[in-house]
Structure 1
Amino acid sequence: MDKYRNDIYTKLFEALSEENVSFHGTTDRKVKKALEVTKEQLLNKVNKLIRAVDENNTLLVKDENSKLFDDWTSISNILDIGFEKSDKLCDLKKQKSLKRKAESDEQLLTGPINKKIKIEKPQMYFKTPVDNSDNGPFKPKLSNKPYSIEPLNESLKLVPAELGIPEHYKNPYSVEIKEQEYNSLIFKKQEPVSYLPFNETSGIFITTDEDLKDMIADLKNYTELAIDLEHHDLRTYYGITCLMQISTRDQDYIVDTLLLREELNQLNEVFCNPNITKVLHGAFMDIIWLQRDFGLYIVGLFDTYHASRSLGFKKNSLAFLLSHYVNFDAAKQYQLADWRQRPLTPELLSYARSDTHFLLYIFDMLRNELLSRNKMQHVLDESRKVALRRFENNTYRPDTLSADVYSVQDKSKPWLHLARNYYIPDKWDPLVEAIFKWRDEVARKEDENPRYIMSNQFLLKLVTEKPKTATAVLSIEGLITSFIKSNANLIAHLITTSESNIQDDNQSATAKSKSFSSSIDNIKIEDLKNEKEEFCSMLGSLSEQIAADNNPATCDSKYIFNLSPHVWNEVSLPISFSSSKGINIEDFKKREEAVNKEFELEIKLSSPKLEALFEHAPVVESNPETVSIPNDELIENKESNDDDVVVLKPYRLEQRNKALEEKRKTEEIHNQDVIPLDYSSGSKMLVNHDKKRKKSKKQKKPMAAKKDFNPYEEKKADTKDSKAKVLKNMSRKRTGSGKSISFKKR
């Protein structure tokens, strides 16, 4: 809302010229006074900015009439100087190391972060290449299943697709997570076990399979473990887990998950043991990373985040818990470190170890408070929900994402989300989609972040500028990555092809929408009248032939095709026959409906069901305008609509006679005294007289003796001189009215 309001204000200020401001000031004293106050405030602010960058005050603006106010280029240059100085100061500030206030441990965590270090992709050395494909649902990486209730083969069965949920594999430990009981010690209050002094202990860095096995053997001796992960997703497609920290009451372990990626599934012997409580803080994403990268699952999770929420703490972060229970301030600047780098600096190792070193003591404190407030079961239920989460590939994500499923792209069509955020017109959505999908495909292949392939800003500039050559692509302002340089020709071809397809689709849609209306516009009224007469004649002849042959299959189809080729070709009505010898019932109904609706017939055609014609002889009226065949069974009428051009309503003979009688009475009324003119209808009197006959047939109710004149009405008694009467009424002055008649175009 603020952005929208600022845009409105900007446009209003741009539209308000200096002359208009001065003019309003001369016409309104309040406006003039407000302008003077605003000028003074603006002058003070400009001078304040100038003093910040010009110590000698040589650029100060003395008054509002200064030329500086007329040419804002100088002001802009001054502001640029200020921004440049601000950027330099910010860079200097970033280079300073932040102090950590942990009592005796402060010296271990004060080293700077080298963010510009160039790191070779560790994925290149994985034994099993990273699979970023999206060809099927994510399949759990399990080769065995310790502490199982449900067998492994049952856990890895593909779940069929449901409404809004594509086929998928469930969390293979879902049964165990739901049904396994927690260690009974978690429900007992105990004296918290104090943590060892941080500076008097050191972590063990696990880099080999032998070290891993020794660590697992040690972990099995404990009933509680603290676990944390360090993840990197800046230069990969899905992300990679770079480090794992595990702490017992006596020892901290730091596991190199880049080196031991293939061997870490052994940890399920500990992680899935329900008798060992696994303590994590905010395990929402840790659960996803463990199963995606290593095939690890956690049974017996205790999430300290949900514990802090249940206890109503004002903050729920790990940093707050460390400060609250341990008086330890975590140096969170290391969260932004690139954990792929090897070797890890002492500062990074100390920071990683601090996340789990104090966590078991915090667990003890939280456990006692939860038991005191009878909230332990709620926290365990919430922790189970977190442990049940599963990772899924983008294409197989549910239509509506929930906390149970995680996918990198949280939108089914992320390119649409991108286009709408940057106000790209809807018609260019196919172009946005084409470039977005190309970027995504390259990112998957290279295991790179899509934004490192091409930034969103550059993608949108391609859409708005639509370069057609490689040179034009590389000329666009923005970050030109190596992937853009090497694929410039392909990108240009992609844009050209997509734009051509969009134009073809638009032209096709426009042509379809105009084809029918343009054909109707070319039909003349005389042609319609002729077609109507031919169709009426055809109905009579067709009825006679059907009655004579008593077999619709022998009816000569020439009666249908006798209609003018001009009309049929223009209207492009579908022709479909079940027999090459004649027409069937559906064809007849289609022709009847087409003529009545599309040609706007002045005479309503009525026809009974064709099946009835085989039992009754036809009765063709002498009046060629209507064909009536006696039949006791009445055709089902259509619902009338004010917008319908023609409503098909067949009549019985007595109903038809009644209608004719009403028509005769109406005509008598029309021939009565002079009808008063409607002044608003004067402009319509120049319309082609042939339209009068159509309008007169649409009015069913008898009209009053005196009514507004309608120039479209038809009088059967004197159709030849109707036009003369209209002109006469237009030109004469009614006696006694006291008004002169004149017509003005509305």
Structure 2
Amino acid sequence: MDSAEFTPFQDKLKSSLVQVTRTVGQLSSEDLNFHRTSSAEFTESLDEQSQRILALTSAVLKAASTGTDIAAPTLYNEDSIDDNWRGVVDVIDSLLEKADACLDEFTGVIKKLSPSQEDQAPVVKKAPKFPTVYDYGPSKIPKPQLQFEQKPDNSGSGLFHPLLTTKPHATVPLDKSLKTRNIDGEDRYPNPYETEIRDAQYPESVYKTATPKDYLPFEGTTATFVDTLDGVKEMLGELKAANEIAIDLEHHDVHSYHGLVSLMQISTREKDWIVDTLQPWRQDLQILNEVFANPKILKVLHGATMDIIWLQRDLGLYVVGMFDTFHAASALGFQKRSLKFLLDKFVNFEADKRYQMADWRVRPLPEGMFDYARSDTHYLLYIYDCLRNELIENSTENNNLIDYVQERSKNEALQRYDRPVYDAKFGTGPGGWFDLLERNAGVISKEQFAVFKAVHRWRDDVARAEDEGWQCVFPKHMLFRLAMAMPLDMGTLLRTLSPVTPITKDRAGSLLETIKEAKIAGATGPEWRDVAAPRKAAAEPMAIDVEDVDFPVAERYESSQFWGNVLEANEPPAPLEYSLAASSEALRLSLPLPPMPSTVSQAREKLGAAPSQPAPAPAPAPEAEDETKKIFTVKELGGPRKRKVTPVEPADEEPLIPLTELDPIEKEHKKSRKEKKAKKATQSGSNSEADSTPFDYGAADSVLNAPKAKSKVAPPRKHFNPYAKAMDAPSGARKQKTETPGKSVTFRK
């Protein structure tokens, strides 16, 4: 495009952008939610235009990121814009950087190299970025299982046949070891080395205390990475000469349905190996059974529960003569039993746990991941020496801790791998829907229960077909979200699953049909609580079809056993009209009054009809009580006193103590008191006339200005000052300073 064509294009682009900006401003000022509810046609049209704009935006972002290392996000709905806004900004930043470079080149700030100079220019290689944590999105590493000579079987049907082709150190021949027998009520293959594991005994050196052998310095040595079959055979020759070896595995189970053994670490007293178990010839690693199944060579592992299963499933390896340091730590009663704790306790080594959840399919291994894998077995034999000595020291005649560890380790080694069978009807087995609902389900309807089972089955089928983990299809919380929402259109489905994984996006139509069919079928299906009650009560799994059998309904009560009928919804009484009748009715309902007659005749009839009530029988007179116990005084019941005092009773009450019982002295005192009382009453009667004369306040002497007395007997009267006491009072509080308008006061501490 030359300068003559660019100017009209620029003007057209500007006018279009201005028009779009104006339109967006007008739309944002309108109440779109109101118009959505008022017109179905408007809603449909708006959704259609929104999808069109989102599709155009996604196409523009994809075109703008072409030729760069930036992954342009795909926008499905309004929510995905917020979820992927960081990706949109990255694309815009990349465009702005390109624009800056072009402007600098156009203005001559920088000069573009010629094609020949570009070829000669040094190429700066970026350090590869390896995932160090699990990524539940699309796998960024090519799946190594696609190159295996024997592909993983994710069908979920049929018995797992052991991978053994030969059986070194066999007591029972291989052909007899691979015959099915009844195990737990089903015909299954036993552990091919079951007899050899049970008969194996630790070497005598395990029962003797010895000084722990020092390990080689970690910094001055390194491990040998084995990624060829010749390297495995060379390693095998050195392992056969060892008395003890340490073994550990690194496993990956995100981008694989059953999981993959990605690395195997093996150490002797002198050397460490890290074996790549993702090679196409991984089945040939069975030759290591010449050491792993040799009971004379002690195999030291830590927490080998899953390691035993993974070795059988992926590599066909079995361990005979195992010493599990986890059970040794348990026998000694350690506070913690992890390998990290044992490394810190005996070696003072702190493992870098950043790589514990790393993607171990990465090749080549980064240095940090390589050292982490090596550290798991490099110190394990030294830890075994320390634990063995402590076990012997803490053993007794009746309790040998070495035998305890041997018995527990045998039980671990006797495990056998069975292919997990998905039970869509009953929800049993690893990862079945029953366990998920039992731990997380609330109150769900029949339709939601049916949708949950159907979507759970759909997710499992997709994960098997893609050889991916369940969480790579969509995580568990999305499974519950789909069951609760039960979306019936594509827009709602994508919003419910936002952000949508690529695997689910490609199969969204199939998932939507599954939800629709399950919802229709669930209307007449069983409820979750009706299925859960019999299952919880039964000791064994159900052997009946939940779709064809009417389950007994769980016991339900008509009312609350705690609250009774209080919580029952009662209809409120109809409002009464404001009248006299309504008032009397309201009064009758509010007070527990008996029904009253409305007329006098009704009252007379009621009184006449009422039978005469018999006179109540007189109540029996209460028994006489001891007056001395009923009435008392403090003096009577008080402490010791100088003389005996007789209580004085009122005149109209009988005395507590008869007068006949008083002594002559008390009688004399009583008589004198009566005489004094009578004399006082006579004097008060003679002064009654003087008392009845009213007091003349006008002729009374002044109190304030009383004259001085001239009598020599009586003292002179002082001038009365009513404020005398007020003058002696303390001074009042200081007057506070009022704030002057327009000024502020600063307070200091």
TM-score normalised to the size of structure 2?
0.50
- Asked which structure has the greater RCO (Cα within 8 Å, sep 6+), the reply is 2
- Structure with greater proportional helix content: 1
